[in-house]
Chains A and B, each alone.
Chain A
Amino acid sequence: MRHPLRAFVLGCALAATPACASFPFGNAQIENPISAAEGADRQAYAVLQTYAVLIEEAADIVRDPEAPAALKRALAQAERVTTPAAETLGLAVRAYASARADLAATPNDDSAVSRFAIAARHLGEALETAQGPLGELEALVRAQQN
């Protein structure tokens, strides 16, 4: 694997590794917000906020007149795919938080219990979808390092 791509994937795997609280990248120490999150809702919230940071940084890159046009096109292509997916995850967390608040307010309401169970299942599925391919990426990185 070419060096820049390996750096991308290695960083990705490190950022998504729950056990990794922080890691050095160049001369900077990168804190891992996702690893600090406890519970599925906070983990998904951390993923969403991290994604927002990434897109903010990406806007700086596409504004740079010296950045290659092909790179800008690739970023735009990636953003079009990932933003809807990130929003889907965000909406699942929002529904979970709402259902949990309803359940706390009316603990004996069967419909509140049912809504909470459904929201929790949807949130778990959304996170599982996100985490499966990350394991594949991490395995790919390790294979390239050997």
Chain B
Amino acid sequence: MLDTLNKTDLLLAALSALLSLAPEQHRARAAEILDTIADVTKSAVSVSNQAGDFADKLAALRADIDAMNERGVTVADMDEALARVRTASAIFRAASESAAAQSA
């Protein structure tokens, strides 16, 4: 449980950054969403070693970006990135629907 809450601290930190990409009419909901999350995670204490997986993924991505600075972004790079987002989103939504069905 603590693992989940600590990971959520990191996840939502960056997710809130992406909320700013949303159209303005949806952006007001960000505060509402974050308040909800703050309510349900108020028992969380501090961030711990559990940030490791997340840190590893970002370190790998950082290395990719450093290499990419030598050559620039190609259409193939963007197709790969968009495919990764769409795949991650589809997996997330399936997991979310499954979780919602189980709790119903």
Instruction: State whether B79 touches A62 (Cβ < 8 A).
Output: no
Instruction: Please tell me which one of the listed residues B1, B14, B46, B47 contacts residue A15 in the complex, with CB atoms under 8 A apart.
Output: B14
B16-56 contact mask (Cβ, 8 Å, vs A): 1 or 0: 11111111001101100111111111101011111111110
Q: Which residues of A contact B8 (CB under 8 A)?
A: 61, 67, 71
Q: Which residues of B contact A126 (CB under 8 A)?
A: 21
Instruction: State whether A9 touches B16 (Cβ < 8 A).
Output: yes
The residue in chain A whose Cβ has the minimal distance to the Cβ of B50 is: A26
Instruction: State whether A81 touches B20 (Cβ < 8 A).
Output: no
Instruction: Please tell me which one of the listed residues A11, A29, A59, A86 contacts residue B13 in the complex, with CB atoms under 8 A apart.
Output: A11
Q: Which residues of A contact B14 (CB under 8 A)?
A: 11-12, 15, 50-51, 54
Q: Residue A115 at the B interface, CB < 8 A?
A: no
Instruction: State whether B49 touches A62 (Cβ < 8 A).
Output: no
Task: Tell me whether chain A's interface is mostly helix, strand or loop, or mixed.
Answer: helix
Instruction: Please tell me which one of the listed residues B61, B82, B91 contacts residue A87 in the complex, with CB atoms under 8 A apart.
Output: B82
Total count of chain A residues near the partner, CB < 8 A: 88
Instruction: State whether A51 touches B85 (Cβ < 8 A).
Output: yes
Instruction: State whether B21 touches A41 (Cβ < 8 A).
Output: no
Give the distance to chain A from B18, nearest Cβ to Cβ, in Å: 4
Instruction: State whether B55 touches A29 (Cβ < 8 A).
Output: yes
Instruction: State whether B96 touches A72 (Cβ < 8 A).
Output: yes
| CB within 8 Å of A: which B42-87 residues | 42, 44, 46-55, 57-59, 61-62, 64-66, 68-69, 72-75, 77-79, 81-82, 84-86
Give the distance to chain A from B54, nearest Cβ to Cβ, in Å: 6
* Residues of chain A having any CB pair with chain B under 8 Å: 2-5, 7-12, 14-16, 25-33, 36-39, 41-42, 45-79, 81-91, 93-94, 97-98, 100-101, 126, 129-134, 137
Name the 9 nearest CB pairs between A and B, nearest first: A11-B13, A26-B47, A133-B20, A85-B21, A28-B51, A5-B38, A94-B78, A55-B88, A31-B62
